[in-house]
A and B are shown apart, each in its own frame.
Chain A
């Protein structure tokens, strides 16, 4: 398996533009998580899905952020409009709910810079 695949690896955009981050989870995993990592706040869970259904989006910072999972092999995180304070590394992770002793598999992340 190629692991969790995120694209793009780097994104530089101007304030006010729409940004879409993409994630392909590991085949067979039924949970998908979006995290944001910054120096100030560390790792923050934004939202997670189970079987393509959003379960908890309480970590989404504001309405400018939205996430979808149209099928088991694809998810997007969208920011519209983007702001400089959204600059961070965004990670996608997936997991199989076989038992709580499973960890998550993380993608390599998307480094977002909003100028």
Chain B
């Protein structure tokens, strides 16, 4: 079945460090891929998405590239800020109406 595996956290970085959160997927068909972010006390917000192979999603300095050959959708940011501290969820959606979420990765950025 369809599933998403993302790196376990927590991840702690200093401000301005480079961030990578790994995400790999298993899917039949051609999924769309998403990264969601959850700030403390809030619901999940869509951060970025990619709908086909080699697409790059980007938003707020975050990027992720849909790599079909490695079935991956790693999240990256060149210079993190304290305000990026949150939980990040990788997710996929195929034609069926269900988003499959990863377990989430908690990021803490320290000044």
Contact = CB atoms under 8 A, between A and B. Distances in A.
Interface of A: 4, 31, 42-43, 45, 48, 50, 55-56, 91, 93, 95, 97, 100-109
Contacts, number: 50
Interface stretch (B11-19, B70-78, B88-96): B88-96
Interface of B: 31-32, 34, 36, 42-46, 49, 51, 89, 91, 93-95, 97-99, 101, 103-104
A103 B34 contact: yes
B43 A108 contact: yes
A105 B44 CA distance: 8
Contact of B36 (A4, A45, A48, A103): A103
Nearest to A92: B43
Nearest to B92: A100
A89 to B, nearest CB: 9
